[in-house]
Each structure stands twice: as C-alpha cells, then as structure tokens.
Amino acid sequence: MRDVYIIGTGEHPWGKFKDRNFVQLGEVAVAQALKDASTDWKDIGAIMSSILIYGGNAGHLSGQYIESMFGETGVPVVNVYNACATGSAAMRMAYNSIAAGETDTTLAIGVDFSPEGFLGAKSDDPRQDRDVIRWRMTGMPNPTYWALECRKRFEKYGDTPEDLADIKVLLSQFGVKNPNARYQKLFTKEGVLNSPMVCDPLRLFEICATSDGAAAVILTADPEKIKAAKNPVKIEATTMGSAIYGDPTIRISAVSAPAKAEAPMLSESYSASQQAYKKSGIGPEDVDVLELPDNSSWHYLQYLETCGFCGEGEAHKMLREGQTQVGGKVVVNPSGGFSSFGEAIGAQAIWQVVECSDQLRGRAGERQVPNCKVAMAQTYGLMGNSGTTIMTI
C-alpha cells in the first residue's frame, strides 16, 4: 500500500443559496483545490463524489455533473451515499484507489443542498424504510433523539444546561473568525440560555442548522506532485465503521434500543475511530486538533468519550477545565464546528478534512492552533454510518 497525501483543498462557504445549484458550489470547491494543488484537471485519475440525496437524478450523478464543468476525460467517476458520513466514504474510496495503485491522483468532492428545517424521510414506504416508520409513529425529528440522550447524561453524569451553552459560546469564538462559516457571530451564554427550547434540554442555539456547502480534496501518491506541494498532508488512516449490536444509543430512524447495553454508545463511531487508531498507530493522546460532528451540544460531549479522548462521563470535566480549547489536551472544532457552519449531509465530512488540513498546513489564520502536527476528523450518519480520518504533517 502506497502512502497518500493531500496536496490541495477547496471549500465553498456554507449558507443557503437559493439562486445557485449544487454544480456551481462544487465547481468553486474543485477549482480552488486544483489551484491549491498546482494540478491540471487532466491529471485527476478518478473522481469520488458524494450523492446529493435531495438533488433528484442530477444529485445521484453529482460526480458526472461536476466533471462536465471541467471536461470529461474518461476517468472512473463513482457516486456514493452514506447519509451524513457520505464524504467519509468518498474520502476512503479515493484513498484506497491510490494506495492500491489503481491511480496516482484522485479527487474527493462533497456537495450538498439541504432542505429548510428538519431533515425528513426521503420516501413514503413504511414497509422497508425505517425513517418513514419513525415519522409516522412518533413524528420525531433528529433533535428529539439527541435530546433524549442528552437527558440521560444529565441524570447519569451531572451535565448541566450551562455546559451546553458554554459549548455554543466556545464554538462561536472560532466560527466568528472563519470566513467560510455560515454564522460568524459571537454568542453569549445568556443569549444561548434564553434561546427557545426545541427539545428539552436542547435549545435553538445548541442545535446546528441545515446548510448548503461544498468541499473538495485532491489526494496523490505521485512523488513529483508531493514534492511540489506546499506542506502536503499525509493521510495516516481513513476508515468507515458501522453499528455494533447492543449499542444502547437511540439511533435515529429506530423507535427502540436494545434492552441490554452490550456495545459502546454510538458504536459506529467507536468502530471507525478504533480502526483508525490501529491502522495509524496514533491514539487520542497524540491528536492536536479534533473536528467532531457537533450536530448539537450533546454530540460535542458524547463524541469526546466515544472516540476515546476521555473516560465515560468525563467530557463535561474536560470542557469546564478548558481541555478542549487552545492550550488544552486537544483543540476541538477550531473551525467553529457544525454549530457555526450547519449540517450539509454530502459535504460535511470532506469539509472537516479540509479544515484539519488547513490547521496542519498552518493556514487557519486567527484560528490557527500552535504546533499542530496531528489532526482527526470524525463524522457519523443515519443508520450506523461513521467515518474517521487521521492526518499528519
């Protein structure tokens, strides 16, 4: 297996763009990545693209539509969908195609246009679609699931509403400095605690929005391209995990959980992270920057534990002691996180890799984490999908 490096990244700012389409957002991200990598389009040997689930036939063929903007060259184009871990799947396929010697240089691209409001079921067939069943039986949007788990933490570990608000405030301090963030606003603890209650104990400002966005990464094993690149980033591992039976998490789309806990919380993310640690030889104690999926303030706390950055029930202690800030044990979401960007299903995992890459390459501006050498991106998706990428400089 060959070593694989990131030599170019691109990112379209997150937001809502009613006057644009997903191809236009993807075009911006890819053009930036090509320029950053000093690479010609004809040098791309394969394209791994996220499926835009809300984009109809065009969205299912997102790679071909984006390719047509730059020129059709006959290379393999693969479109993939793995819910919110879609970008992780595209990254993994792009990496593996190079590491196995199928091609030297690939493009991983993630684009998304999300609907307004809560993400709903994508079919109307309860016979086979569990997402339809949960909407018809309970009418529960995603934040309800997160709130139920968060309430468990309150009772079991002593987490508080103030902890949830502090997370939003902390992430906004990063987001306000990120030119690509959708919400470049500094929040106060009082303002967060006074925002409307959505699903007790989660308030409006403690839940991420649904957004539009695009991100692209160019990977290569070509020695000449790596040598010519400015601060190339080595991919130490990029993995996918699925759920493990006995996971006590009330998983989105399900209306029940196993009666007996026999696996870790969010077991798909536990699996993906453990695979990445084993493959890379890098552990949580080595990571300088962690981009985790803070769909809500609950996620921020739970993922620190699920991914092994602290013991069970200890995440709020890390937060309160400043261990997730600059100068602490690991800097969490210096991009501003989903809290500042919003959720863009097909794009977010690749966007996290772009943000990690920027930190490793020392070009994160006011958000730069000093002496950043190891970064990790972790994203999870519906029905037990999860991806982890570990990178070094």
Q: Maximum CA pair distance of the chain?
A: 57
Domain co-membership, 68 together with 142 = no
Per-residue confidence at 325, pLDDT binned at 50, 70, 90? Answer: very high
**352 phi and psi angles, rounded to 5 deg:** -60, -40
pLDDT of residue 250: 85
pLDDT of residue 113: 94
Kindly write down the DSSP assignment for every residue of 310-335, as one continuous string.
Answer: S-TT-HHHHHHTTTTSTTSSSEE-TT
Inside any domain, residue 344: yes
Mean pLDDT of the residues in the chain: 96
For 173-224, the pLDDT digits (tens) are 999 999 999 999 999 999 999 999 999 999 999 999 999 999 999 999 999 9
pLDDT of residue 340: 98
pLDDT of residue 89: 97
Inside any domain, residue 298: yes
Domain co-membership, 74 together with 189 = no
Inside any domain, residue 315: yes
Q: At CA 49, angle to CA 291 and CA 181, rounded to 5?
A: 40
Domain co-membership, 157 together with 17 = no
For 243-286, the pLDDT digits (tens) are 999 999 988 888 888 888 999 999 999 999 999 999 999 999 99
- Domain, as residue range, for 377: 130-207+235-392
| Contact partners, residue 345, CB within 8 Å, separation at least 6 | 50, 53, 83, 84, 86, 112, 114, 119, 381
For 49-60, the pLDDT digits (tens) are 999 999 999 999
pLDDT of residue 372: 98
Per-residue confidence at 112, pLDDT binned at 50, 70, 90? Answer: very high
Domain co-membership, 63 together with 83 = yes
Domain co-membership, 176 together with 103 = no
Crossing angle of helices 22-37 and 62-70, in 10° steps, is 60
pLDDT of residue 138: 87
Inside any domain, residue 125: no
Domain co-membership, 219 together with 134 = no
Domain co-membership, 43 together with 188 = no
Inside any domain, residue 384: yes
User: Burial level of 95, CB count in 10 A (0-12/13-18/19+)?
Assistant: buried
H/E element, 360: helix 348-360
Count: domains in the chain: 2
Q: In CATH, what number is assigned to the domain containing residue 291?
A: 3.40.47.10
Enumerate the β-bridge partners of residue 381.
385
Q: What is the number of other CB atoms lying within 10 angstroms of the CB of residue 139?
A: 8
